[in-house]
Amino acid sequence: MALSAGTRRTVACVLVGLGAMLLVAAIMVPTYTVSRLAKTPLDLEITTVATNPQNGAPSEVLDSKSLTSGTGSAKVDQNVPLVSQRFLTVEDPSDASEMTIQAGQTLRRTDKQGDTGLLTATIDRVTVDRKTGEPVESVDGGPNGAIGVTVDKKGESVMDPVQHTGLQYRFPIGTDKKTYPYFDLNVRKTYDINYVEETEINNLKVYHFQMAVPVTDLSTVANSPTNKLTLPAEKWGVEGDGDVTMARFYTNTRDLWVEPRTGTVIKGQEQIHLFYARSGDKPEVTALKSTLVFDENTIESQISVAKDNIDKLSLYGRILPIILGVLALVFLIVGLLLGFLGKNGNGRTPVRRVAPAPSGGPGNFDAPTQQIDMNKKP
């Protein structure tokens, strides 16, 4: 059934209006929605596991009991299987722009049971920007984080206020091929982590970054009893008589593989070297020397997290705007065609003509045959 001219005009106006609304939506969705999605979610819970691959690389651990035994010198075990586990959660205070991250991390040797296998345990808290991943300034002007490496008499962690700077647990949304500042938890300082190359992990594009932490005396970093020890020279296994005081030193080469669109760390590797010495340039007794790498389950889990976020960003940043834009164009074109080309088939509004006065004939009234002169006097 053909539409009347008035109905066509109404439908045309509605279609043009819908097209304009969809066009505005296509522009606004990536502008506002993506900016809200491009943040670390507040329900974040991530467990990462790193192990030392059994490929002939050194994995040396100091037997702590040998330092306190009555006889013999310090003993360093070889080919020790290790596992590092980190559990990361989001805590209060957190809001639309900032989040407080708490990460508990342990390093264990798996050839020993229970507490005898525990080598280190650390708790770290820091408040970061949800988009850039960088720490934010504390509202009270104090340190923006805290680190716990020791426990009190009740066995509870003692948290030392520590100012955090640089990246740590994630990279920015839209990671660039450049150098970033990166915070090392062990020395509590920030060093450059440099872009190395673009590569792939399980068919996912990633950026490889690397940083080198210089040899650092840990006794100047944290007040832990194990960071400086005084023992007989014989116990240390060095020449001389009497007691010798040694500090524990730390150095590390850290490699990270980051999915650039989301800033997710897909893979991590650390080449850690802890040793006791009287001088940082002359290691004397190894405390820990090993390479720790994310295991395959962790890598696959991180890839899954990255892909979920990529899909969300792609949906609202590209796919949905394209669909809305196409629909807007269709509605606008149909509305304009209906409004301009649908008028009487030639673009002109039809003119309504007035019918002529009826003429005489069957069924018609005859014209008057006599006219009355209104001016004639009786």
* Confidence category of residue 40, pLDDT binned at 50, 70, 90: confident
Supply the pLDDT for residue 312.
Answer: 77
263 DSSP 8-state letter: T
Supply the pLDDT for residue 273.
Answer: 97
- For residue 249, pLDDT over 70 is answered with yes
- Mean pLDDT computed over 41-62: 87
Query: pLDDT tens for residues 153-178?
Result: 777 788 999 999 999 998 988 899 99
Supply the pLDDT for residue 378.
Answer: 47
Supply the pLDDT for residue 140.
Answer: 82
- Least Cα distance to 101 among 121, 87, 122 occurs for 87
- For residue 214, pLDDT over 80 is answered with yes
Supply the pLDDT for residue 303.
Answer: 96
Supply the pLDDT for residue 31.
Answer: 63
What sign results for the dihedral spanned by CA atoms 169, 43, 89, 102? Answer: positive
* Confidence category of residue 149, pLDDT binned at 50, 70, 90: confident
- Token pair in block for residue 79: 């080919």
Kindly report which listed range (36-40, 154-158, 164-168, 245-249) carries the lowest average pLDDT score: 36-40
354's CB contacts (< 8 A; 6+ apart) are: none
- Mean pLDDT computed over 334-343: 70
* Confidence category of residue 147, pLDDT binned at 50, 70, 90: very high
Buried b (16+ CB within 10 A) or exposed e, 98-131: ebbbebbbebbbeebeeeebebebbebbbbbebb
Number of CB atoms found within 10 A of residue 47's CB? 12
Place of tokens 């009740």: 154
Supply the pLDDT for residue 114.
Answer: 75
- Token pair in block for residue 146: 């805290």
β-bridge partners, 268: 256
- Mean pLDDT computed over 353-374: 50
Q: How far apart are CA 59 and CA 61, in angstroms?
A: 7
Q: How far apart are CA 135 and CA 164, in angstroms?
A: 6
β-bridge partners, 203: none
Report which listed range, 12-21, 91-100, 335-344, is most confident.
Answer: 91-100
Query: pLDDT tens for residues 85-125?
Result: 999 999 988 898 899 999 999 999 999 887 789 999 999 99
- For residue 337, pLDDT over 70 is answered with yes
3-state helix, strand, coil in the chain (%, to 5): 25, 35, 35
**H-only helix segments in 233-287:** 233-236
The average confidence (pLDDT) of the chain is: 84
Supply the pLDDT for residue 365.
Answer: 44
* Confidence category of residue 211, pLDDT binned at 50, 70, 90: very high
- For residue 9, pLDDT over 50 is answered with yes
Q: How far apart are CA 263 and CA 286, in angstroms?
A: 35
- Token pair in block for residue 167: 């990246």
Q: Residue 254: what are its φ and ψ, rounded to 5°?
A: -110, 130
Question: ∠218-220-225 over CA atoms, to 5°?
Answer: 65
Kindly report which listed range (74-83, 212-221, 302-311, 351-360) carries the lowest average pLDDT score: 351-360
- For residue 32, pLDDT over 80 is answered with no
Supply the pLDDT for residue 294.
Answer: 97
Q: Residue 288: what are its φ and ψ, rounded to 5°?
A: -160, 130
- For residue 37, pLDDT over 90 is answered with no
Supply the pLDDT for residue 181.
Answer: 97
- For residue 17, pLDDT over 90 is answered with no
* Confidence category of residue 266, pLDDT binned at 50, 70, 90: very high
Who wins on pLDDT, 62 or 16? 62
- Least Cα distance to 259 among 320, 180, 200, 328 occurs for 200
Who wins on pLDDT, 210 or 20? 210
- For residue 363, pLDDT over 70 is answered with no
66's CB contacts (< 8 A; 6+ apart) are: 72, 73, 74, 75
Q: How far apart are CA 350 and CA 241, in angstroms?
A: 118
